A and B are shown apart, each in its own frame.
Chain A
Amino acid sequence: MREGSNMCKVTIDGITVQAPEGSTILDAAKLAGVDIPTLCFMKEINEIGSCRVCVVEVEGEDALAAACNTCVFDGMAARTSTPRVIAARRANVETILATHRSECTTCKRSGTCALQVVANGCNATDLERDPDYKFEAWDETFPLQRDATKCIRCMRCVAECAKVQQCAVWEVSGPAAHRGVRVAGGADIASANCALCGQCVTHCPTGALTARDDTSKVLAALADPQVITVVQVAPAIRSAWGEGVGVPREEATQGRMVSALRALGFDRVYDTDFAADLTIMEEANEFIEWVKSEKPRPMFTSCCPGWVRFAKQHYPQFVGQLSTSKSPHEMLGATAKALMSQEAYEQGKRVFVVSVMPCIAKKYEAGVPQLSTEAGPDVDAVLTTREFDRMLRMLNVNCADLPEGDFDDPLGLSTGAGTLFGRTGGVMEAALRSAAFFLTGEKPDFSTCDTTAATPERPWVDKTLDIAGMQLRIAIASGLSNTAVLLDALEAGTASYDFVEIMACPGGCVGGGGQPIAFNQELASERAAVLNALDGADTLRFSHENPDIKALYDRLLGEPLSEKAEELLHTNQAEWDI
């Protein structure tokens, strides 16, 4: 039941508000400025009232009511912090803690754990007995990690995966007190058709779901004198990296981020944005060839390995329509190794490429054996934004006081178009800017290519562009349930496009599964604004105008889609191991 047009007079803790019919006590409390703690609740996604932390006292009712899913009625009066409520809330939190392995000192989620906040909030300082929990086996090499001892059975992951991300990797099963979350059908996670979007991780209230930690591998490389360490950083990192180290968004600038990376000891600090420009050179040209051919429509972007995994596992019929361009960080890794191999050889060293990504699927992608050249794997390790932040804390980098730094050459200069890759619609927008130029010889108006209307709130957005006498129909979707709706429509023939951009995470990489976690906050659009601002302020806003890209083609690649480009920068996703 969603909000109706009639209003209800509701009094929360003595504050009277008018709440639309169908709204919950939690909604009304928000209107009244009253904060009610929640754990399992996710608006419209997991309104199951299972944790009983948000219980309140409703005047005239015998039992306490869950604020998250109890609808208000006209004349309702509720109290959110009576002694009875406080005692009940605390007792329920303590009950949750009775089966939760509280090891906050060593838990990755310490500080961002919602259970920790709620437990502290109700002064649950003294448990009568040690918690009782059960360890379950898990493949420690898999990019997605689950620790059953920390699962509080709130079922948020189950709902997020099934309803927002379409994959239904998780399920609830088992009898009575043994009911809990597990991989659907009791399968092994590696064969569960998980896209590795990581949305279950960012929506887990505790440390039960995490990403595989690769910081040790990176620290080992940094400590090895025989290794030249190259780090590259994805567009979306500059929109969020400050969140995990306590630097406000406006102070967590791109320049400070560069300095932070340098402070970690990397020999070269490159920008994945550069490779995003490179991707556009390849992908835009690929698209132009595509539209002039009889190939099936649409061509799909392929920068997002979560999307590639999803397509391979759930919609294999579309895999042949993915752009063969590697994703930007793979391109950068391959290029860096190609450029540096001679230098490294002469010094008796090897090159180790680290990608800092807002993503868990990129950890998988880096390990795909097909994504390598004679210089070895394109990328040797992937760190999430959260791991990057953890390393900064570990090395005691004083981020707020860092100077503005610059990326290293020759893989550090980028355009605003490349920066847009971090948000939904960004790859499309960057591609259209250059594709229009390649087709007409003239730079298009920015508004022609604008995709800022892209949003996970709708299954997809589309537009038709008139370029060089061609009607190009494009569509953009983010979030895998949205993607499924679009793919089903394409298959049913009720929708038809020439070029489609898909990003697995709602809102794109800015909302990625590797980004800093803020409980019950969807920060994708706020972070996207950072990228849009960087693009708007950039003097270079067309990928093909990046002088270092031109230089790279002159020095190494020749021209887009050349034999050398194919060798280093393209792949066949159908061959990827899952």
Chain B
Amino acid sequence: MAKLSVEPRAKDDGKFGSFVEEYERRIKATPLGMCAVAFQLDLLRAGGCQTCGKCVPCREGIGRIEELLEEVLAFQAEPGALDEIRAQANVVRDTADCAIGWHAAEVLLGGLDAFKAEFESHVNQGQCREGVAQTVPCETLCPAHVNVPAYVALAGAGDYAGAIGMIRKDNPFPTACAYVCEHPCENRCRRTLIDAPVNIRGIKKFAVDQLAADKVATPAPAAATGKKVAIVGGGPSGLTCAYFCALMGHEVHVFEMRKQLGGMMRYGIPAYRFPRERLDEDVRAIMGAGNISVHFESRIDAEGMKRLSVEYDAVYVAIGAQGGKTLKLEGADVQGVMSAVELLTKIGDNECPDFTGKNVVVIGGGNVAMDCARTSVRAGAASVTVAYRRRLEDMTALRAEIDSAMQEGVEMMTLQAPDHIEVEDGHVTALYTQPQFIGPVKRGRPAPQTADKPLVRIVADVVLIAVGQDIESAPFEEAGMRADRTYFEADDGLKSIGELPNVFVGGDCQVGPKTVIIAIGAGKVAARNIDDFLGFDHKLDCGVAVPPAAANWRTPCGRVNIVERPARERKGDFDAVEVEMTAEEAFQEARRCLRCDHYGCGVLDEGRVQYV
């Protein structure tokens, strides 16, 4: 018998680890706007290089497809090349011995369908489709296209007023986004190539923590145009539109059904995540930008909407998604069962519930469910349980929110589908759930399936249903705005489809409950298109110059994360949970930015996604 050895056969295997991480990081930092054909070729080559070389389809077939794909990439393919590629990929998929070859072909076949238009453009038109060009990742992924590299550099140089002014060029909610933005800007950060994405939200938070947004003057508004714009809904989208319309010189009237402005930032997001006094800083700055009047507790009905459309030159409807979705659950209409929206709305006007000694069960796995759970902890609940029908990793809530909730003592009961509610004397006493087990992927997510287990009883005095929100569209539909099943319909420019000629619509009510920054982005687009609709083309100057780019600092360095106050401390109050970044942390973090606005495609006009 041969001698055994603990060494792997291939001597380099042990060194692969860190390079596999490098590879992973490169994939994660895949540039925005690259040609889909190039991307597919890249993926295929990875498969081709990973083949062991034993079997024909994988060893020879992938290489042959690569050659064909290279011709497609270089616009030199013969007509019919795509059929040829598909045929060969099918053979590789069907006949590969192991998953290495099968997967390479499978992914390519998926790509041929997903990017059909780009592939066909290469073969038939001899060109990429219009708009295929790399762009600055953070700026592109930000729904409001904020000039991230510029404000990171400004904050990193200690110019907080400049940073706030630069953010406000595209987004009048620097403070709100400092606290609660889901920071899609970080998703494909080029810094990932070196270590990890820059903590962009953290740097923004540092800036607004050093200098309150309402202490930084907004630009002077343009000369009054004599045009009147009505805005229905004083949330992030409506107020963004109001801000830019006011700067453009239009007279703005905001109609808000509640007592205060802020929409879901006040009536949805709990104060421990976003303190109200900080929200007020953004709101004050916006209100000071120009001619904006607010009409509180003004719910707009069908007649009212028709009137606004007649009396104002343009209307922006941004009513959000205010209705809590219900579950068809036996017993769901009894005392102690309420929707997340109901709970959070009351808190918005400082009516905090008292859950002292109560057992609270939250149904759902999104950020709103976490908000409910963590609010319940702070309201004195004896126990808080989140019941969710999928796994922890399938929750749509941010991972950090889930972790924080767990640290505060929230029990995550996963793979539990609500079955019915136990009622005693008209009051909830427990939630029964049907255990699930995770199964095959459906529509991109692993789907739960009923497990062969008995129902589970979770003791409950309060059940909070956080399974999504609906819009309350009826009066607006009656006034002539078209809605498609659940949300308002609009064209690309957010012009409402329907009978009212001068109405724009955007935000949650047009795309469903999403994030603050998506709502802000819609508000900005609406303002610009309203300006155009009214016959203007205002160019807004934020008055801040983009600082020159320093040389890239490419030494790998850890990312500074924002931490929360100790769980045992924070769970007893509604004060802000996040601990401020220190100056030394913020400056190091800003230095990690690779200034993609200057280095690489960002220096080209087509590399930017910026409004003038």
Interface stretch of the complex, out of B120-128, B240-248, B345-353: B120-128
Interface stretch of the complex, out of B355-363, B435-443, B549-557: B549-557
B127 touches A47 (CB 8 A): no
Q: Does B52 contact A (CB under 8 A)?
A: no
Q: Does B75 contact A (CB under 8 A)?
A: yes
State whether A174 and B606 are in contact (beta carbons under 8 Å apart), knowing that A61-B551, A62-B554, A70-B551 are contacts in the complex: no
Of residues 38 to 83 in A, which have CB atoms within 8 Å of B's CB atoms? 47-49, 58, 61-63, 65, 69-71, 73
Q: Does B38 contact A (CB under 8 A)?
A: yes
Q: Does B603 contact A (CB under 8 A)?
A: yes
Of residues 152 to 175 in A, which have CB atoms within 8 Å of B's CB atoms? 155, 162, 172-175
Q: Does B80 contact A (CB under 8 A)?
A: no
A residues bordering B, Cβ < 8 Å? 1, 22, 47-49, 58, 61-63, 65, 69-71, 73, 155, 162, 172-176, 178, 182, 185-186
A178 touches B75 (CB 8 A): yes
Question: Which residue in chain A gives the minimum CB-CB distance to B35?
Answer: A175
Interface stretch of the complex, out of B389-397, B508-516, B540-548, B562-570: B540-548
State whether A1 and B546 are in contact (beta carbons under 8 Å apart), knowing that A69-B598, A175-B38, A176-B38 are contacts in the complex: yes
B499 to chain A, nearest CB (A): 33
Q: Does B73 contact A (CB under 8 A)?
A: yes
B127 touches A173 (CB 8 A): yes
A172: B residues at CB distance < 8 A: 133, 604, 606
A1 touches B547 (CB 8 A): yes
Give the CA-CA distance A173 to B605 in the complex, in Å: 13
Q: Does B130 contact A (CB under 8 A)?
A: yes
Interface size of B by CB at 8 A reads 28
Q: Does B74 contact A (CB under 8 A)?
A: yes
Of residues 321 to 371 in B, which have CB atoms within 8 Å of A's CB atoms? none
B562 to chain A, nearest CB (A): 29
B127 touches A174 (CB 8 A): yes
B35: A residues at CB distance < 8 A: 174-176
Give the CA-CA distance A350 to B539 in the complex, in Å: 59
Q: Does B373 contact A (CB under 8 A)?
A: no
A155-B604, A173-B128, A175-B38 given; 13 more Cβ-contact pairs under 8 Å: A48-B604, A49-B603, A62-B554, A69-B598, A172-B606, A174-B35, A175-B34, A175-B73, A176-B34, A176-B73, A178-B75, A182-B127, A186-B126
B556 to chain A, nearest CB (A): 12
B596 to chain A, nearest CB (A): 13
Of residues 561 to 582 in B, which have CB atoms within 8 Å of A's CB atoms? none
A185 touches B606 (CB 8 A): no
B605: A residues at CB distance < 8 A: 162
B550 touches A73 (CB 8 A): yes
Question: Which residue in chain A gives the minimum CB-CB distance to B76?
Answer: A134
B549 touches A71 (CB 8 A): yes
Most buried by B among A65, A162, A178: A178
A-B contact pairs, 23 of them (CB 8 A): A1-B547, A58-B551, A62-B551, A62-B554, A63-B551, A69-B603, A71-B549, A73-B550, A162-B605, A173-B127, A174-B35, A174-B127, A174-B128, A175-B35, A175-B37, A175-B128, A175-B132, A176-B38, A176-B73, A178-B73, A185-B130, A186-B126, A186-B127
A8 to chain B, nearest CB (A): 11
A65: B residues at CB distance < 8 A: 551
Give the CA-CA distance A48 to B597 in the complex, in Å: 11
| A contacts with B: majority SS | loop
Of residues 102 to 135 in B, which have CB atoms within 8 Å of A's CB atoms? 125-128, 130, 132-133
Question: Which residue in chain B gives the minimum CB-CB distance to A49?
Answer: B603
B603 touches A47 (CB 8 A): yes
B residues bordering A, Cβ < 8 Å? 34-35, 37-38, 73-75, 125-128, 130, 132-133, 545-552, 554, 598, 603-606
Question: B132 contacts which of A49, A173, A186 (Cβ < 8 Å)?
Answer: A173
A182: B residues at CB distance < 8 A: 127
B125 touches A186 (CB 8 A): yes
B76 to chain A, nearest CB (A): 9
Question: Which residue in chain B gives the minimum CB-CB distance to A155?
Answer: B604
| B contacts with A: majority SS | loop
B604: A residues at CB distance < 8 A: 48, 155, 172
Give the CA-CA distance A183 to B38 in the complex, in Å: 22
Give the CA-CA distance A173 to B35 in the complex, in Å: 10
A69: B residues at CB distance < 8 A: 598, 603
B552 touches A63 (CB 8 A): yes
B549: A residues at CB distance < 8 A: 70-71
A1: B residues at CB distance < 8 A: 545-548
Most buried by B among A1, A22, A47, A65: A1
A71 touches B130 (CB 8 A): no
B546: A residues at CB distance < 8 A: 1
B37: A residues at CB distance < 8 A: 175
Give the CA-CA distance A172 to B126 in the complex, in Å: 14
A155: B residues at CB distance < 8 A: 604
Question: Which residue in chain B gives the minimum CB-CB distance to A182?
Answer: B127
Question: Which residue in chain A gives the minimum CB-CB distance to B127?
Answer: A186
B128 to chain A, nearest CB (A): 6
Most buried by B among A175, A178, A182, A185: A175
Question: Which residue in chain A gives the minimum CB-CB distance to B598?
Answer: A69
A6 to chain B, nearest CB (A): 12
A494 to chain B, nearest CB (A): 13
Give the CA-CA distance A208 to B605 in the complex, in Å: 23
B32 to chain A, nearest CB (A): 14
Q: Nearest 10 CB-CB pairs, A to B?
A: A175-B35, A71-B548, A175-B38, A1-B548, A186-B127, A61-B551, A176-B38, A48-B603, A178-B74, A173-B128
Question: Which residue in chain B gives the minimum CB-CB distance to A492?
Answer: B537
Give the CA-CA distance A61 to B603 in the complex, in Å: 21
Give the CA-CA distance A62 to B545 in the complex, in Å: 27
A174: B residues at CB distance < 8 A: 35, 75, 127-128
A49: B residues at CB distance < 8 A: 603
B74: A residues at CB distance < 8 A: 178
A389 to chain B, nearest CB (A): 35
Give the CA-CA distance A65 to B595 in the complex, in Å: 14
A5 to chain B, nearest CB (A): 13
A58: B residues at CB distance < 8 A: 551
Give the CA-CA distance A30 to B396 in the complex, in Å: 57
A22: B residues at CB distance < 8 A: 548
Give the CA-CA distance A58 to B552 in the complex, in Å: 12
B603: A residues at CB distance < 8 A: 47-49, 69
A19 to chain B, nearest CB (A): 12
Question: Which residue in chain A gives the minimum CB-CB distance to B37?
Answer: A175
Question: Which residue in chain B gives the minimum CB-CB distance to A66?
Answer: B599
A511 to chain B, nearest CB (A): 24
Give the CA-CA distance A261 to B365 in the complex, in Å: 86
A70: B residues at CB distance < 8 A: 549, 551
B552: A residues at CB distance < 8 A: 63
Question: Which residue in chain A gives the minimum CB-CB distance to B599?
Answer: A49
B158 to chain A, nearest CB (A): 15
Give the CA-CA distance A1 to B132 in the complex, in Å: 28
B545: A residues at CB distance < 8 A: 1
B547: A residues at CB distance < 8 A: 1
Give the CA-CA distance A195 to B549 in the complex, in Å: 36
B128: A residues at CB distance < 8 A: 173-175
B73: A residues at CB distance < 8 A: 175-176, 178
Give the CA-CA distance A308 to B552 in the complex, in Å: 48
Question: Which residue in chain A gives the minimum CB-CB distance to B39?
Answer: A175
B550: A residues at CB distance < 8 A: 73
A7 to chain B, nearest CB (A): 15
A287 to chain B, nearest CB (A): 33
Give the CA-CA distance A1 to B157 in the complex, in Å: 15
Most buried by A among B126, B548, B604: B548
Give the CA-CA distance A61 to B132 in the complex, in Å: 33
A399 to chain B, nearest CB (A): 43
A178: B residues at CB distance < 8 A: 73-75
B26 to chain A, nearest CB (A): 15
Give the CA-CA distance A395 to B274 in the complex, in Å: 82
Give the CA-CA distance A63 to B37 in the complex, in Å: 31
Give the CA-CA distance A71 to B603 in the complex, in Å: 14
